[in-house]
């Protein structure tokens, strides 16, 4: 069975491509037109992450790159080329999309909703009736911050934290409507926040926490030099700087601007290794679909406490972050700038969990991921010299633990 993949040069897409090449002799890469050589970028990723030379040398023979525009009908292809691509496929993986938490809804709909619509058109046109594997997000659960989000739930009753969540929710609705209209199966894969311990590199795509770090740094810079001394808390140390404040990671808490962010001290976020997510997704895709839409939460069995995430962001952006129950009435300069990024800090107040009973029942202990801790997260955000290396495949653990979010 021949497969096609959108988003193959993205953070998740590169790992999905790696797993798909484990089980398929060749893959059609539906690359964004005008974005440069997709084959070169894919090859460079594998070189940087330690793939064998024989593997990278064989990529030109195993990858067929078709330049497309997901925002256009027929993916911007001629009718003849569109039909030829469609007829050659047994499965389509749709991983391309925008995770821009700063984007407005019309912009995100053009990428995440219309892109999905046109990929579904490709699937409908194929004479082999290819199965659609749609990569969504666990955050279609929206702004509900407590309780359990189940795999079969899909509604907008709680609203959304940002336009990104809404655009992905609407794309899922489109997949369900397509499945009903054509009587065809589809698989919806909902990963949580994906991370890696592969250090940053200018030739590798960044992951979501790197985007948040960038926004925090930009907010601090935009607020100007007067923000550097705002909100310093020296009372606890008798008006003196805290001991050890000028350590290897830069200025200590007494030198950092203090930012109040709405959050819960007992909050938790679901962070999952991107390499493990790709492996789980490809394994799930190997199962016979039910005939309708099969939805899976691809999430970690254990959540990361919000204070751990806060500590990481404080280190990276040289800020001191205080979790507060409500938005400050008189925001500081940095806090005012952060208000321009809707949904950025909303997740610090989340205490819900994502139910993944279906995945655990199907994959058992082998579907469980290794822990994600502060040191792991630091590794994926701090540049370091030397060769980059992907994390080894996670060995199965003996048992599954209950996973709250």
The secondary structure of 114-166 as a DSSP string is: HHHHHHHHHHHH-TT-PEEEEE--GGGGTT--SSEE-TT----TT--SSHHHH
pLDDT value, residue 153: 96
Please say if the pLDDT value at position 301 is more than 80: yes
The runs of H, that is alpha helices, within 131-257 are: 163-182, 208-222
On whether the CB atoms of residues 250 and 318 are closer than 8 A, the answer is: yes
Q: Confidence class of residue 334 from pLDDT cuts 50, 70 and 90?
A: confident
pLDDT value, residue 123: 98
Give the DSSP letter of residue 21. Answer: H
- Return d(Cα 397, Cα 367) in angstroms, integer: 9
List beta partners, residue 94: 6, 134
Give the DSSP letter of residue 310. Answer: H
- Return d(Cα 81, Cα 74) in angstroms, integer: 9
CATH 3.40.50.720 segments of the chain = 3-200+269-303+351-373
Average pLDDT (88-99) is 96
* Share above pLDDT 70 across residues of the chain, in percent, rounded to a whole number: 85
Q: Is the C-alpha dihedral spanning 134, 28, 87, 117 positive or negative?
A: positive
pLDDT value, residue 384: 60
**72 to each of 118, 221, 322, how far by Cα in Å?**
7, 38, 45
Fold of 3-200+269-303+351-373: Rossmann fold (3.40.50)
pLDDT digits over 242-300, tens only?
Answer: 333 333 344 455 577 888 888 999 999 999 999 999 999 999 999 999 999 999 999 99
SS3 (DSSP) at 333: helix
- Return d(Cα 5, Cα 63) in angstroms, integer: 10
Distance linking the first and last C-alpha atoms of the chain: 37
Instruction: Report pTM.
Output: 0.87
Helix, strand, coil abundance in the chain, percent, nearest 5 = 40, 15, 45
- Rg, the chain, Cα only: 22
Q: Residues 6 or more apart from 384 whose CB is under 8 A from it?
A: 199
pLDDT digits over 234-257, tens only?
Answer: 333 333 333 333 333 444 555 778
CA angle 190-193-196, nearest 5°? 120
- Return d(Cα 308, Cα 289) in angstroms, integer: 38
* Residue whose C-alpha is closest to residue 130's, from 182, 199, 169: 182
- Return d(Cα 388, Cα 196) in angstroms, integer: 12
Higher per-residue pLDDT: 241 or 19: 19
């Amino acid at each position: 069975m021949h497969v096609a993949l959108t988003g193959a040069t993205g953070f998740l897409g590169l790992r999905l491509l790696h797993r798909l090449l484990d089980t398929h002799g060749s893959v059609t890469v539906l690359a964004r037109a005008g974005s440069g050589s997709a084959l070169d970028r894919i090859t460079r990723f594998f070189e940087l992450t330690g793939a064998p030379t024989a593997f990278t040398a064989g990529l030109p023979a195993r990858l067929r790159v078709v330049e497309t525009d997901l925002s256009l009908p027929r993916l911007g292809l001629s009718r003849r080329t569109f039909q030829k691509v469609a007829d050659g496929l047994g499965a389509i993986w749709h991983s391309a999309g925008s995770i821009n938490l700063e984007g407005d809804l019309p912009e995100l709909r053009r990428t995440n909703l219309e892109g999905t619509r046109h990929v579904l058109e490709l699937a409908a046109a194929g004479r082999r009736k290819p199965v659609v594997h749609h990569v969504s997000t666990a955050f279609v659960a929206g702004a509900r911050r407590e309780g359990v989000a189940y795999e079969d739930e899909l509604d907008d009753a709680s609203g959304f934290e940002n336009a990104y969540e809404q655009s992905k929710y609407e794309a899922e609705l489109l997949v369900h409507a397509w499945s009903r209209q054509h009587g065809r199966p589809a698989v919806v894969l909902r990963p949580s926040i994906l991370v890696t311990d592969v250090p940053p590199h200018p030739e590798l795509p960044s992951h979501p926490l790197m985007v948040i770090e960038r926004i925090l740094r930009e907010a601090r810079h935009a607020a100007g030099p007067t923000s550097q001394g705002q909100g310093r808390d020296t009372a606890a140390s008798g008006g003196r700087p805290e001991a050890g404040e000028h350590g290897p990671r830069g200025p200590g808490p007494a030198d950092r601007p203090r930012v109040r962010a709405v959050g819960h001290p007992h909050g938790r976020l679901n962070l999952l290794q991107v390499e493990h997510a790709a492996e789980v997704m490809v394994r799930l895709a190997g199962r016979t679909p039910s005939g309708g839409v099969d939805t899976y939460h691809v999430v970690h069995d254990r959540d990361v406490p919000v204070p751990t995430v806060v500590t990481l962001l404080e280190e990276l952006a040289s800020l001191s972050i205080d979790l507060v129950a409500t938005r400050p009435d008189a925001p500081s300069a940095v806090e005012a700038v952060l208000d321009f990024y809707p949904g950025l800090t909303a997740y610090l107040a989340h205490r819900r969990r994502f139910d993944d009973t279906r995945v655990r029942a199907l994959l058992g202990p082998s579907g469980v991921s290794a822990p994600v801790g502060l040191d792991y997260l630091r590794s994926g955000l701090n540049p370091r010299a030397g060769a980059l290396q992907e994390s080894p495949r996670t060995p199965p653990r003996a048992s599954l633990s209950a996973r709250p979010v």
